[in-house]
Structure 1
Amino acid sequence: MLADMRGNITDEMLKRGDEITWREDIKNKSFKTLFEEKRINLTSDIEAEKEKLTQLQGKLKQPQIAFYAHHLKDILLDTKDEILIFEKTFTNEGTGYNTSTGLFMAPVGGLYQFVVHTCTENNEYVYLGLVMEGSVIAAHAQYGDKNHSCNSFGAIIRVRSGEKVWVKSTSSANRRLAHNSSSRMNTFSGVLVKSDI
Structure 2
Amino acid sequence: MTFAAFLVIFGMYSSQVLEAKEPVCSKFAYEEQLLEKMIRTEIKVETMGNEIKKTEENVISTLVEIKRAVSDFTDMFADMKGNITDETLKRSDEMKRREESFKKLFEETRTNLTSDMEAKKEELTQLRGKLERPPIAFHAHHVADLLLDITDEIIIFTKSLINEGIGYDTSTGIFTAPVGGLFQFSVHTCAYYAKFAYIGLVLGGQVIAADSNYDKDYYTCSTVGAIIRVKSGEKVWVKSTSSSSNRRLFQDSYRMNTFSGVLVNN
Instruction: Give the structure-1-normalised TM-score.
Output: 0.69
Which residue pairs with 1:69 in the alignment? 140
> C-alpha distance in 2, partners of 1:177/1:67?
21
Please name the residue that 1:58 is paired with: 128
Change (3 A) 1:175 1:107: same
Which residue of 1 is the match for residue 5 of structure 2? none
- Structure 1 residue 122: deviation in Å? 1.1
The runs of 5 or more residues in structure 2 that have no matched partner are 1-116
Q: Which of residues 205, 209, 212 in structure 2 aligns to 1:134?
A: 205
Task: After TM superposition, give the deviation of residue 145 of structure 1 in Å.
Answer: 2.7
Aligned match of 1:80 = 151
Report the Cα distance in structure 2 between the residues aligned to 1:81 and 1:56, rounded to whole angstroms.
Answer: 37
Deviations 1:56-113 (A, max 9, x none): 7514516400000001021001010000000000000000000000000000000000
Question: Is the counterpart of residue 110 in structure 1 residue 187 in structure 2?
Answer: no
- Give the count of matched residue pairs: 145
Unaligned runs of 5+ in 1: 1-47
Tell me whether 1:188 sits opposite 2:266 in the alignment.
no
The residue that corresponds to 1:178 in the other structure is 250
1:10-159 equivalences under 5 Å are 55=125, 58-61=128-131, 63-159=134-230
Structure 1 residues 56 and 168: alpha-carbon distance in aligned structure 2, compared to 1, 3 A threshold: closer
What is the identity, as a one-letter code, of the residue corresponding to 2:250? A
Deviates more, 1:166-175 or 1:150-159: 166-175
Q: How big is the shift at 1:175?
A: 1.2
Mapped to 2, the partners of 1:54 and 1:156 lie a distance apart of: 26
Q: CA deviation at 1:150?
A: 0.7
Partners of 1:71 and 1:115 in 2: CA distance: 15
In the alignment, what sits opposite 2:23?
none
- Give the root-mean-square deviation of aligned CA atoms: 2.0
Q: Cα gap change, 1:113/1:56 in structure 2, threshold over 3 Å: closer, same or farther?
A: closer
Shift in CA distance, 158/127, structure 1 to aligned 2, threshold 3 Å: same
Moved over 3 A (4+): 51-57
What TM-score, normalized to structure 2?
A: 0.51
Bigger RCO of structures 1 and 2 (CA < 8 A, at least 6 apart): 1
Greater share of helix: 2
Matches of 2:124 and 2:248, distance apart in 1: 53
CA–CA distance in 2 between the matches of 1:151 and 1:137?
A: 16
Matched position secondary structure for 1:58: helix
Q: Secondary structure, in 3 states, of the residue corresponding to 1:183?
A: coil
